[in-house]
A = this chain, B = another copy of it.
Amino acid sequence: MFEVAVIGAGRIGRIHARNVAAHPALHLKAIVDPVGDSAAELAKALGSEVSTFEAVLADPKVKGVIIASPTDQHLTQTLQCIAAGKAVLCEKPLDQDLETARGAAAQLGGDKPLLLGFNRRFDRHFGALKQQLEAGRIGALESLLIVSHDPAPPPVSYVKVSGGLFKDMAIHDFDMARFILGEEIVEVYAAAACLVDPAIGEAGDVDTAKTTLKTASGRLCVISNSRRSGYGYDQRLEAYGQKGLLKADNVLESTVAHWGAEGPVLDAFQNFFLDRYAEAYRSEIAHFADIVAGKAKPMVGYDDAVRALELAEAAAYSVATGQVVRV
């Protein structure tokens, strides 16, 4: 059993804490959250303890730290934990500022035990697509379509501090594009608009975007983003290759269908990312357990975080200038 601490008892911290507690090889040593009683409540429910970030850092028994604190603390805490010899799972983004993130290359790059929380990499459906792709089922991959529409827009107060559509939301898709394409992007074009909620536009952001990526070898990728689908979590992939297409579709709440006067109706799509990715979060913790145990290298780390951030900045710049951007 390896001791693990969780920094942050918010929505995502609670998910990770529960999954750590349920993992047979991990023990949830401590929960840290300076705000209110959230750490105490969570610790009680899971039979763990409340602690401080300093105490966690100083405790040699704690082998792994999960950083689910506010975004502006991600990089600093990650640097401290890695320096202290601990394995780290850091929620995305590593930092909102590309230059700041790039500045940590010496400390976080290479083979450091740093796992970035790009949860979709651990999704069963996207993983199955990747596996079939690598097994050659469609021959050489030629192009890729990523649909990534959220159920409903976040509050404008969140939008204002989110870093914008590309850094906050599409960053998952930039990482997914690199994951599936298996090649770096050299060109970015994004067309975007504010069509969902005028308040998002007033806050200086866009809510709808179509981004085109091109790789050095000429492969193409289109990402469709919207802050509001109206029908739940819409997260799909279509990979087009020499011998056909592989697609990963949305996940339904159940296999139940109703056939009635209004036509055949399927059960709803999963509507909340914690439902849609519940299994992916468990798999992510299982992978982190292997990293803590020294049995695996992070499947997505510092370099991936920086690359995704570069693409997000390029897309935002493309929108701002109306030009194609070389990366």
Which stretch, A35-43, A157-165, A255-263, A285-293, touches the partner chain B? A255-263
Q: Are A261 and B143 in contact (CB under 8 A)?
A: no
Q: How far is the CA of A263 from the CA of B251 in the complex (A)?
A: 12
Is B230 a contact partner of A260 (Cβ separation < 8 A)?
yes
The minimal Cβ–Cβ distance linking A242 to chain B, given in whole angstroms, is 7
Partner-contacting stretch, out of A81-89, A97-105, A265-273, A305-313: A265-273
Contact residues, A225-250 vs B (CB, 8 A)? 226, 229-231, 234, 238, 240-250
Chain A contact residue count (CB 8 A cutoff)? 75
Bound-state CA distance A192–B187 (Å) is 12
What residues of B have a CB within 8 angstroms of the CB of A255 in the complex? 125, 248-251
Contact of A203 with B by CB under 8 A: no
**Set of chain B residues within 8 Å of A221, measured between Cβ atoms:** 210
Also in contact, A230 and B218, with CB within 8 A (given A124-B254, A196-B142, A322-B324): no
Interface status of A31 (Cβ within 8 A of chain B): no
With A132-B258, A254-B248, A265-B263: A193-B218 Cβ-Cβ less than 8 Å: yes
A149 pairs with B240, CB closer than 8 A: yes
Contacting residue for A195 out of B219, B257, B322, CB 8 A: B219
- Distance between Cα atoms of A252 and B138 in the complex (Å): 20
A258 proximity list for chain B (CB < 8 A): 132, 137-138, 244-246
Question: Please, what's the 1-or-0 string for A181-216, where 1 marks a CB less than 8 Å from any CB in chain B?
Answer: 000000101011111100000000000111010100
Chain B residue numbers with a CB within 8 Å of A261 are 230-231, 243-244
List, in ascending order, chain B residues with CB within 8 A of A320's CB.
Answer: none
User: Lowest 8 A-B CB distances belong to which pairs?
Assistant: A244-B260, A193-B218, A249-B255, A231-B259, A128-B254, A230-B244, A263-B268, A245-B259
A residues engaging B (CB < 8 A)?
22, 24, 45-46, 124-125, 128-129, 132, 137-138, 140, 142-143, 145, 147, 149, 187, 189, 191-196, 208-210, 212, 214, 218-222, 224, 226, 229-231, 234, 238, 240-269, 322-324
